[in-house]
Amino acid sequence: MYGTFKALASLLAVAVGVQAQESSVTRSFYGMAYSPDGALLPQCGADQASVTRDMGKLAQLTPRIRLYGADCNQTELVLEGIKQAGNVDLSVWLGIFIDGNDTVYERQLNAVTTAIQKYGTEHIAGITVGNEFLLLSYGDGGSATDPKGVAARTTLLNYIQKTNQTLKAMKLDKAIPLGTADAGSAVTKELCAGADYVMANVHPWFGHVPVEQSAGWTWQFFQDFDVNVCAQAPNKPVMYIAETGWPTASDNASITTNGPSKASVQGLQTFMDSFVCQANKNNTNYFFFEVCLLLPQQLLKTY
């Protein structure tokens, strides 16, 4: 497996035919977080050829990817990319980004439902409503149980319910699970009770732990603050780590370390070697954060 991870950089940096299989790479990752390059308002610079290439590459690394939002036509770009890459074996958790503004929600819900009508449900494993909406709502020093946190949770669960009603009215050929993604520390029993699945962001870098201990810390945090919390909910939602990884660099010289360890490629390698094998062995559902598939003249980036 170590050789697979060492080959990751070369796989992501080399532009070859999307259906060509890299012999040095196996599908070692449970899932990966993905956003098409340039899929940000107002520019919306993502293009189909690049996304199709990405889908062909990602299918060699993992059978699962998750998206964050639906702006800039990214839902259709990804589903079309899977088709153009040879109907590769990829399951996608679509994303609906929310910020509390109904217009933003409606715009993205419409984009998602339009894509489902066009491409069907074959490759859709879920729809994630919100990404760190709770954390961003209650802010630094707040919590998921303070008034701002409770109000944000109510808003979020209402959006999930509305999405569910919309999908039911479409009379699809299968039920699509609905969930949300948020900070691992933002998960509550009440949140879990309103979702089919919950994704928790768990980053050992922000836990200020040595990289050598990062894999074990990540698993323990996820169990203590997310899995065990949602186990108390009557519906027992499926649990995922929405994001985990290790930074390779910082654009701020004052935060090149988290205290005991540096942001470095070596640190990323150490985390991958330990966490991915551990997670695959103990059946932890996770999405590695994050992958960026680039042309040969570009460099591999993490976060």
Q: What are 224-242's pLDDT values in tens digits? A: 999 999 999 999 999 999 9
3-state secondary structure 91-148: EEEEEECCCCCHHHHHHHHHHHHHHHHHHCCCCEEEEEEEECHHHHHHCCCCCCCCHH
pLDDT tens digit sequence for 237-277: 999 999 999 999 888 888 899 899 999 999 999 999 999 99
pLDDT of 253: 83
Q: In the predicted model, is pLDDT for residue 5 greater than 80?
A: no
Q: For each of the domains in the chain, give its residue range(s) and CATH number, in order of start.
A: 2-288 (3.20.20.80)
Percent of the chain's residues with pLDDT above 70: 88
CB 127 within 8 A of CB 94: yes
Segment 75-80 mean pLDDT: 99
Segment 208-215 mean pLDDT: 96
Q: Which of 76, 122, 132, 290 is catalytic?
A: 132
For 244, residues 6+ apart whose C-beta sits below 8 A from its C-beta are 201, 202, 203, 204, 218, 275, 286, 287, 288, 289
Q: What is the dihedral of CA 198, 204, 207, 210, to 10 degrees?
A: 160
Encoded amino acid at 25, one letter: V
Better pLDDT: 294 or 150: 150
Q: In the predicted model, is pLDDT for residue 294 greater than 80?
A: no
pLDDT tens digit sequence for 155-185: 999 999 999 999 999 999 999 999 999 999 9
Q: The pTM is what?
A: 0.90
153 sits in which H/E element: helix 147-170
10 sits in which H/E element: helix 2-13
| Peptide linkage before 234 cis (omega within 30 of 0) | no
| Peptide linkage before 190 cis (omega within 30 of 0) | no
Task: Report residue 130's pLDDT band, with 50, 70 and 90 as the boundaries.
Answer: very high
Better pLDDT: 21 or 214: 214
pLDDT of 24: 61
CB 178 within 8 A of CB 127: yes
pLDDT tens digit sequence for 43-53: 999 999 999 99
Residue 132 designated active-site: yes
The string of DSSP codes covering 239-273 is EEEEEE---S--SSGGGSBSSSSB-SHHHHHHHII
CB 100 within 8 A of CB 127: no
pLDDT of 180: 99
Percent of the chain's residues with pLDDT above 90: 83
Q: Which of 80, 190, 243, 290 is catalytic?
A: 243
Residue 22 designated active-site: no
Segment 1-21 mean pLDDT: 39
pLDDT of 302: 38
CA atoms within 13 A on the CB side of 204: 27
Task: Report residue 292's pLDDT band, with 50, 70 and 90 as the boundaries.
Answer: low
CB 32 within 8 A of CB 287: yes
Q: In the predicted model, is pLDDT for residue 92 greater than 70?
A: yes
